[in-house]
Amino acid sequence: MNTTIFNKTTGWRILALVISLTLFGTSTVQAKKSSSKSPDTESAAEFVERIQKEGQELAKEVEAAYWVRNTYITKDTAVLAAKAGERSLEFESKLVNQAKKFLGTEMDEKTARAIELMLRGSSAPAPDDPAARAELAQILTDMEGQYGAGKYCDQKGENCRELQELETVLRESRDYDELLDVWQGWRTISPAYRQQYQRFVELGNEGSKTFGFDNLGDLWKAGYDMDTQEFTIEARRLWDQVKPFYEELHCHVRAKLSEQYGEDKVSLDGPIPAHLLGNMWSQTWDNIYPIMEPYEGVASLDVTAALKEQGYDELKMTQTAEGFFTSLGLPDLPDSFYENSMIKKPADRNVVCHASAWDIDNGNDPRIKQCVEINEEQLGTLHHELGHIYYYLMYKEQPSVFKGGAHDGFHEAIGDTIVLSMTPGYLKEKGLIDEVVESEEATINKQMKLALEKIAFLPFGKMIDEWRWKVFSGEIGPEEYNEGWWKLRTEYQGIAPGVERTEEHFDAGAKYHIPGNTPYTRYFLSFIMQFQFHKALCDAAGFKGPLHECSIYGNKKAGKKLGDMLTMGQSKPWPDAMEAMTGQRSMDASAIIDYFAPLNAWLKKENEGRQCGWTN
């Protein structure tokens, strides 16, 4: 997604702490039962208490440095951020070395869980060498800064456009050549840091080995309370649950785009050209809904027009998102949120517009950074970001080490779960549509629009880390970064570039999460779990109709179930949090199939006689 969170779950920047206890042949239960003593005079519980206090002090400095870096991109803020990141990496190295000493020693369950989480390290562990730590911090700062300052200028170096402006073209234009030009243009920013990314991989892998992993990908996969192979199998199982539905959607979208642009540009049996899907990365397709609308003019869903007509600005949109959460009985946002957040793009400086939520000062100063535009997509993004903020607020009283999502997919799923309750009935109550049309045609239209966002995203969410895991393991070498990227995009998504791409390009790096080094599987998992959560909350609210008609807006019973789970943070393994929310102990995509049952049946009928599928 176009979002991230700034706390332990984003890794290296703040005091992220990452290895599974299973790596060292122990577990929480084994730690409790062991009779051996700690090698130091300090007990495990005392160590946890001390390290949390030290971490909180350092975090204040690191958070401030990175907030300023993201909202004022200059050479000076790059220096400050890199130095802060270097100190964070040094702290992490010392912490991990100290925490390892307690493995296999006797401790209570709560302390054992804390030690386990401390040893789950960062998304970019540094080698245990000061020079390497400094280099890694500088590379990550530079890559993110170059991305944030990225522009596409014409051949004369004039008419420069930033990402937001380029995205507007992709969202609104239907001119094949204009779309291709903008798509190519944004990808001129990333070759500049391709060599830096290669060096980052080398340093990250070296750091992972000090944690006992073969490479950085294996370290990332170890953060889900299961071993890496088990997690790989689990992610594949979830994808297999939804893959047939995605293929039906792809088949229909391709056919409609072929009608729009001609079969010479969009073949009826091959991949879809990537620049035609309304999004810079083809990750969501809802911006081409006007082309895809099954029943023209039935139940208008033009929320963007209503927002503009009714004079919504960045503040009112943010307050509207807050109002959904407070309707559930969750607390008002603190005044500091509106005082310290950046919700409008400044006119006088470069900033990282990529939306993000920040847990600053140990939950006392939560804020978001988002260049809000007045459209429906950005309204949804605000709900997503406030999902992170409310997670921060609800687990604020937990010890620092337990402040985080049950796993990173939980954190990403909360706000999007709320968005599923933005039904036509809710939108009408807010005055954003004129009437609720109840008909089969209206249902199909609404589900098509949502599927173009939610279902279209799933293979993209899966393949980004598939590419990185192969890069980290060496299966995709530096000389084939781009070839490997497009091979996976075609395999998973059924899309391909509209022009030839070579190894002179670095198309993976044109997506924020690559230079920003944010693991992406969390988003894939969140898109599965948000429907699972939605069903559970609708059940708690006593809703009895079709799942796609349910809104929990204003329902305090659903709000309590949600709030109780958020309050847990990561104090328990994620299956415990999942059970508290849904009654299940595993992730499950069946709620997606239930939710979209009307559209799935409609697509299968529409696709009769079409040649579905594609070749890599």
Per the annotation, the verdict on 523 as an active-site residue is: yes
Q: What is the pLDDT of residue 614?
A: 95
pLDDT above 50 for 17: no
Compute the distance between CA of residue 57 and CA of residue 62 in angstroms, rounded to an integer: 9
pLDDT above 90 for 222: no
Compute the distance between CA of residue 454 and CA of residue 458 in angstroms, rounded to an integer: 7
Is residue 522 domain-resident? no
pLDDT above 60 for 566: yes
Compute the distance between CA of residue 581 and CA of residue 438 in angstroms, rounded to an integer: 30
Higher model confidence: residue 464 or residue 99?
A: 464
Q: What is the pLDDT of residue 260?
A: 98
Which residue's entry shows tokens 């966002």? Answer: 453
Per the annotation, the verdict on 412 as an active-site residue is: yes
**88-92, 390-394, 418-422: least confident range:** 88-92
Is residue 546 domain-resident? no
Is residue 274 domain-resident? no
Q: What is the pLDDT of residues 515-545, one digit of tens each?
A: 999 999 999 999 999 999 999 999 999 999 9
Residue positions counted in the chain: 616
**Residue 68 burial (CB count, 10 A):** 16
The strand pair at 365-369 and 355-360 is best described as antiparallel
**Residue 165 burial (CB count, 10 A):** 12
Q: Choose the catalytic residue: 252, 384, 407, 548.
A: 384
Total of domains in the chain: 1
Q: Choose the catalytic residue: 275, 354, 407, 505.
A: 354
| Buried/exposed 446-472: b ≥16 CB within 10 Å, e otherwise | bbbbbbbbbbbbbbbbbbbbbbbbbbb
Compute the distance between CA of residue 62 and CA of residue 60 in angstroms, rounded to an integer: 6
Q: Choose the catalytic residue: 92, 373, 385, 466.
A: 385
* Range 56-63 average pLDDT: 88
Close Cβ partners of 424 (under 8 Å, ≥ 6 residues apart): 299, 301, 433, 436, 437, 442, 446
Confidence band of 40 (pLDDT split at 50, 70, 90)? low
pTM for this one?
0.86
**402-406, 464-468, 581-585: least confident range:** 402-406
Percentage of the chain surpassing pLDDT 70? 93
Per the annotation, the verdict on 158 as an active-site residue is: no
319 is written with which tokens?
A: 């307050």
Per the annotation, the verdict on 534 as an active-site residue is: no
DSSP secondary structure of 471-510: HHHTSS-GGGHHHHHHHHHHHHH-EE-SS---TT--GGGG
Which residue's entry shows tokens 């693991």? Answer: 519
Q: What is the pLDDT of residue 121?
A: 62
pLDDT above 80 for 21: no
pLDDT above 60 for 444: yes
Q: What is the pLDDT of residue 6?
A: 41
Per the annotation, the verdict on 513 as an active-site residue is: yes
DSSP secondary structure of 306-344: HHHHTT--HHHHHHHHHHHHHHTTPPPPPHHHHHH-B-S
Q: What is the pLDDT of residues 336-359, one digit of tens each?
A: 999 999 999 999 898 988 899 999
Q: What is the pLDDT of residue 57?
A: 85
Q: What is the pLDDT of residues 87-121, one digit of tens each?
A: 888 888 788 788 888 888 889 999 998 888 887 76
Query: What is the Cα gyration radius of the chain?
Result: 24
Compute the distance between CA of residue 7 and CA of residue 277 in angstroms, rounded to an integer: 32
Nearest alpha-carbon partner for 516 in 458, 455, 457, 468 = 468
Compute the distance between CA of residue 166 and CA of residue 279 in angstroms, rounded to an integer: 10
Is residue 300 domain-resident? no
| C-beta of residue 492 within 8 angstroms of C-beta of residue 459 | yes
One-letter-per-residue 3-state SS of 12-45: CCCCCCCCCHHHHCCCHHHHHHCCCCCCCCCCHH
pLDDT above 50 for 19: no
**Residue 344 burial (CB count, 10 A):** 14
Confidence band of 36 (pLDDT split at 50, 70, 90)? very low
Q: What is the pLDDT of residue 299?
A: 75
Which residue's entry shows tokens 């989480």? Answer: 117
| C-beta of residue 522 within 8 angstroms of C-beta of residue 408 | yes
pLDDT above 60 for 5: no
pLDDT above 80 for 580: yes
pLDDT above 60 for 482: yes
Which residue's entry shows tokens 């160590």? Answer: 47
Q: What is the pLDDT of residue 28?
A: 29
Q: What is the pLDDT of residues 292-330, one digit of tens each?
A: 999 998 877 789 999 999 999 999 999 999 999 999 999
Is residue 261 domain-resident? no
* Range 179-206 average pLDDT: 97
Compute the distance between CA of residue 524 and CA of residue 413 in angstroms, rounded to an integer: 10
Q: What is the pLDDT of residues 117-154, one digit of tens each?
A: 887 766 788 888 889 989 998 999 999 999 989 999 98
SS3 of 250, please?
helix
Mean of all residue pLDDT scores within the chain: 89
Residue 502 CA: distances (Å) to CA of 179, 207, 483, 486, 497: 20, 30, 7, 10, 11
pLDDT above 50 for 166: yes
Domain range holding 125? 8-199
Q: What is the pLDDT of residue 209?
A: 86
pLDDT above 80 for 18: no
pLDDT above 50 for 186: yes
Q: Choose the catalytic residue: 152, 391, 523, 595.
A: 523
Per the annotation, the verdict on 63 as an active-site residue is: no
Higher model confidence: residue 40 or residue 135?
A: 135
Percentage of the chain surpassing pLDDT 90? 71
Confidence band of 572 (pLDDT split at 50, 70, 90)? very high
Residue 99 CA: distances (Å) to CA of 14, 93, 259: 18, 10, 61
Is residue 411 domain-resident? no
